[in-house]
Amino acid sequence: MKTAIDSSVLWCIRKREPGHEKWQRLLENAAAEGQLCICPVTFAEISPGSTNAETLLSDIAMLAIAYEEISPEAAYLAGNIFLRYRREGGPRLQMVPDFLIAAHAEVQCTHLATLDRGYLRHYFPKLKLLN
């Protein structure tokens, strides 16, 4: 099992928002079953919480979270699903970055840990979510 982590989960844990203990346990369980990773989009979204890229890479490594590039297949999937979303009248509430994170998880991982707002289940029905 390989679990991608969305920035929403990492911010929840970092800020100690309600439910952060549950997320910590879910990620600990996921790590016991396989690798945890983040893609460059998630890395960018959580970067304001660190002093520089090197420190952030070190911080995620200490949490046993790997940094993983987005494959061309995942990027292609994200672009095409985003186009479908816009053609179906989807407002610009979910931008391409959200679709990149989900496509990375669907193509390169087995699960995505996220605070799902519903659109992922609709546009990525094959993606297994930890939430």
User: How far does CA 109 lie from the centroid of its chain?
Assistant: 10
pLDDT of residue 91 exceeding 90: no
b/e code 86-105 from CB counts within 10 Å (16+ = b): eeeeeeeebebbbbbbbbbb
3-38 residue pLDDT tens: 999 999 999 999 999 999 999 999 999 999 999 999
Q: Residue 6 has what pLDDT?
A: 96
pLDDT of residue 93 exceeding 80: no
Residue 74 or residue 117, greater confidence: 74
Provide long-range contacts, Cβ within 8 A and 24+ apart, for 124-128. Answer: 124/81, 127/102
Residue 77, SS3? helix
CATH superfamily entry for domain 2-130: 5'-nuclease (3.40.50.1010)
Q: Residue 96 has what pLDDT?
A: 86
